[in-house]
Amino acid sequence: MNKSSYWKPRSNAWQVLAALSYPAALVVNIAMRPIIEVDERPYRVFLLALAAHTAVCYLRAFHDEKLALKYNHRSQFTFAAGALLMVWDVLSSKTGSLPLPFFPGPAQIMEVLFRERSAHALNCLYSLRLFAAGFAAGAFCGVVSGILIGWSKLWDYWLFPVMKVVGVIPAIALIPIVLIVMPGTFSTAVALVAISAWFPVAFTTARGIKSIHKSYFEAARTLGAQNGYMLRKIAIPGAVPSIFTGISTATGISFSTLVVSEMVGARGGLGYYINIAMGWMNYASVYAAILLMAVSFTLVLAVINAIKNRLLAWQKGLVK
Amino acid sequence: MSSPSIVINSPAAPPVIIEVKNVTRVFWDAREKSEKSVSALENVDLSVRKGEFVSLIGPSGCGKTTLLRLIAGLDAPQSGELLVEGEPVTGTSHERGYVFQQANLFPWETVEENIAFGLKARGVYEEYRGDVAEYIAMAGLKGFERSYPHQISGGMAQRASLARALINRPKALLLDEPMGALDSFTRMDLQEKLLELWQKFSATIILVTHDIDEAVYLSDRIVIMTPRPGRISEIIDADYPRPRSRSSARFVELRNKVLEKFHLAGAEAPVEYAI
């Protein structure tokens, strides 16, 4: 991130407020008694960790100019986050202003996360395994069929119309059919995730190849390249930016399909967990699972982004 | 009009390498469904000798790029014949290097990979891999091997493009206004480079340009083309000694001669070429 992206004006007041927001939330949590039975220790540890992190940043910013800019820029947001946690805590566990059990407090969610940590870890892994298998298969098929459609007139003629119609069907609508075709619940879920990932990737890959400027192929031909070589060295590398556009879209759609397919027949995973927790009216667990989804999906996106940046190093400075 | 394509075969003259015989290329207007067509080239004849530097010059729409693309094998004529060393042109070949107006480097490859492209595409990279560094140095791109095309200047990109074509050791180098998009200083710099390479490789060069000075300064022969239909109207011999000077009397004389052909010299007003 460069300096110019830190556009918030310099403010000592906000920096101090940011540094104090998590400690304040912690003090309020300790000072007020909860009206329900809840183990507040995990939440306090969580707040303490955030407070410690902010304090370290605040102190280091005195010596580190780059960190100072970053910290200053984020101080308003940090303050708001701390304030929000405090208000939420007070409105839920401390006073019961928010209706329970539908809107549990942060302490209750942290309690569930901590108490059921091994189950959560297992569910996360289960979901990630499903995602990895389904997404990899779908993206691979998408790239292959996209290349075929983009490169060969014959494949374009036969496959493109089919893809256009089949591709827009939400994978979830195919659950009844996939359930019959696939032997087990895991393979059903994998197939559904794969189908969701396939279409956007195939579509953008094909379009990417078709939109490569003719002059690159002409240059390659005059340099002695044959068709196969041009496919590998011009068409595919030239389509990589488009392929990643498709992969980004596919990731989001695959996440939805993943959760839904876990809700309808899986025996593990975050979607499955949400479903079970909802059945028990255990909303703290529902929020805990949602939180874990946000974290693990963000991590997945970060990994995909890192791969993309590596493959598209040649674009650095060319686009944005 | 005299027939400009006839080359007198004196015993000392090098052999003809490229022959264009009575070539016609028509384009149809894709937007209109009418039978409207544009003759990009009509009955064009041209012979180029080995080692010759020939410029094709004329206003836009005169078919000079079309003719170059036909020689390259990037396009095919409706009628007529194109021969390179007596063999008909049926498609592109690495023996006819082509440099585009835009450098057209592959943006996903580094400068080094771009220059090595032809060797790798032809499967002779292992044999000639030592050439790559030599051609990079020749193009004055040392230190930029790992740069991507968008990180180098237009002049550098065009030199890289030239090196990319030359590494295949083509028998003929076809240049489609390679200096058209460059500023005048960079252009003159590249013109010197081009002459240096031409002499070093004793290459045959056909250069498409709309810059009269460039044609007069570089060429052995200047082929003047006129549009609608695209035709060769005259071929001017520019056989004055090298190294040349842009201020020499002969240069100015030739330049005026070319200008006259386009009715651009003296008091005479420019005319519309449409017939």
User: Integer distance in angstroms from the first to the last C-alpha of chain B?
Assistant: 17
pLDDT at residue B197 greater than cutoff 90: no
CA A108 to the chain's CA centroid = 24
Name the residue among A218, A220, A240 with its Cβ closest to that of B121: A220
What is the predicted pLDDT for the residue at B229? Answer: 86
Residue B6, by phi and psi: left (phi above 0), alpha (psi -120 to 50) or beta? beta
Exposure pattern of B88-99 as b/e (b: 16+ CB <10 Å)?
ebeebbbebbbb
pLDDT at residue A4 greater than cutoff 90: no
What is the predicted pLDDT for the residue at A99? Answer: 87
A175 and A299 inside one domain:
yes
Express each pLDDT in B29-70 by its tens digit.
666 555 667 778 999 999 999 999 999 998 888 899 999 999
Percent of chain A with pLDDT over 90: 82
Cβ pair B118:A223 closer than 8 A:
yes
Nearest C-alpha of chain A: how many angstroms from B14? 25
Residue A96 belongs to a domain:
yes
Q: Which two tokens stand for residue A132?
A: 């990895």
d(CA A215, CA A230): 12
| Residue B22 backbone dihedrals phi, psi, to 5 degrees | 50, 45
pLDDT at residue A313 greater than cutoff 90: no
Relative to beta strand B37-49, strand B221-226 is unpaired
A173 and A305 inside one domain:
yes
Name the residue among A219, A224, A314 with its Cβ closest to that of B100: A219
Residue A109 belongs to a domain:
no
Name the residue among A222, A237, A317 with its Cβ closest to that of B151: A317
Nearest Cα neighbor of A149 from A173, A166, A174 is: A166
Express each pLDDT in A19-68 by its tens digit.
999 999 999 999 999 999 999 999 999 999 999 999 999 999 999 988 99
Residues of chain A positioned with their CB less than 8 A from the CB of B96: 222
Nearest Cα neighbor of B69 from B168, B177, B154 is: B177
> Is any Cβ of chain B less than 8 angstroms from the Cβ of A226?
yes
What residues pair up with B27 in beta bridges, in sequence order? Answer: B38
Residue A110 belongs to a domain:
no
What is the predicted pLDDT for the residue at B32? Answer: 57
CA dist list (Å): A35 to A30, A93, A102, B95, B179: 13, 6, 16, 86, 80
Average pLDDT over residues B91-102: 93
**CB-based contact B217:B228 (threshold 8 Å):** no
DSSP code, position A235? I
> Is any Cβ of chain A less than 8 angstroms from the Cβ of B74?
yes
**CB-based contact A82:A55 (threshold 8 Å):** no
A33 and A156 inside one domain:
no
Residue A285 belongs to a domain:
yes
Number of domain units in chain A: 2
Which chain A residue has the Cα nearest residue B115?
A223
How high does pLDDT run on average in chain B? Answer: 87
A147 and A187 inside one domain:
yes
Exposure pattern of A184-222 as b/e (b: 16+ CB <10 Å)?
ebbebbbbbbbbbbbbbbbbbbbbbbeebeeebbbbbbb
What is B231-254 written as a DSSP string?
A: EEEEEEE----SS--TTSHHHHHH
Q: Which two tokens stand for residue A172?
A: 């979830």
Residue A221 belongs to a domain:
yes
Strand, coil or helix: B82: strand
Q: Which helix (H) or strand (E) holds A91?
A: none
Q: Please, which residues 2-61 of chain A have a Cβ atom closer than 8 Å to chain B? A: none
DSSP code, position B85? T
Residue B140, by phi and psi: left (phi above 0), alpha (psi -120 to 50) or beta? left
A200 and A298 inside one domain:
yes
A199 and A128 inside one domain:
yes
Confidence of residue B25 (pLDDT cuts 50, 70, 90): very high
Residue A170 belongs to a domain:
yes
Sorted by where each starts, the structural domains of chain B and their CATH numbers stand as: 16-95+170-261 (3.40.50.300), 106-168 (no CATH)
Selected for mutation to probe chain B from A221, A223, A233, A315 (highest B CB count within 10 Å) is: A223
d(CA B25, CA B37): 10
Strand, coil or helix: B160: helix
A91 and A133 inside one domain:
no
Express each pLDDT in A189-235 by its tens digit.
999 999 999 999 999 999 999 999 999 999 999 999 999 999 999 99
Question: Hunting for tokens 């990899």 — which residue is that?
Answer: A136
A41 and A176 inside one domain:
no
> Is any Cβ of chain A less than 8 angstroms from the Cβ of B255?
no
Which chain A residue has the Cα nearest residue B71?
A222
Residue where a domain stops, chosen among A54, A76, A101: A101
A124 and A273 inside one domain:
yes
What is the predicted pLDDT for the residue at A203? Answer: 96
Relative to beta strand B96-99, strand B172-176 is parallel
Name the residue among A224, A234, A317 with its Cβ closest to that of B94: A224
Q: Please, which residues 5-64 of chain B have a Cβ atom closer than 8 Å to chain A? A: none
What is the predicted pLDDT for the residue at B239? Answer: 84
What is A150-186 written as a DSSP string?
A: HH-HHHHHHHHHHHHHHHTS-GGGGHHHHHHHSSSHH
Interhelix angle for A283-311 vs A270-279, to 10°?
Answer: 170
A148 and A226 inside one domain:
yes
Residues of chain A positioned with their CB less than 8 A from the CB of B92: 218, 221-222
CA dist list (Å): B127 to A191, B119, B120, B121, B122: 48, 9, 10, 13, 11
A95 and A140 inside one domain:
no
Name the residue among A216, A224, A318 with its Cβ closest to that of B104: A216
Strand, coil or helix: A210: helix
Identity of the residue numbered A135: F
Residue span of the structural domain in which A171 resides: 117-315
> Is any Cβ of chain B less than 8 angstroms from the Cβ of A225?
yes
Please tell me which residue, A185 or A128, carries the higher pLDDT value: A128
A210 and A279 inside one domain:
yes
Residue A106 belongs to a domain:
no
> Is any Cβ of chain A less than 8 angstroms from the Cβ of B75?
no
Q: Which two tokens stand for residue A167?
A: 């591709």
Nearest C-alpha of chain B: how many angstroms from A219? 7
Residues of chain A positioned with their CB less than 8 A from the CB of B122: 224-225
Cβ pair A219:B106 closer than 8 A:
yes
Residue A266 belongs to a domain:
yes
Report the CATH number that the domain containing residue A271 is assigned in CATH. Answer: 1.10.3720.10
Provide CB contacts within 8 A for A140, sequence distance 6+: none
Selected for mutation to probe chain B from A222, A231, A308 (highest B CB count within 10 Å) is: A222
Express each pLDDT in B155-185 by its tens digit.
999 999 999 999 999 999 999 999 887 888 8
Average pLDDT over residues A91-118: 92
Exposure pattern of B241-255 as b/e (b: 16+ CB <10 Å)?
eeebeeeeeebeebb
Percent of chain A with pLDDT over 70: 98
Q: Which two tokens stand for residue B74?
A: 């990037």
Sign of CA dihedral B40, B44, B47, B52: negative
Express each pLDDT in A146-165 by its tens digit.
999 999 999 999 999 999 99
CA dist list (Å): B37 to A187, B40, B166, B231: 59, 9, 36, 16
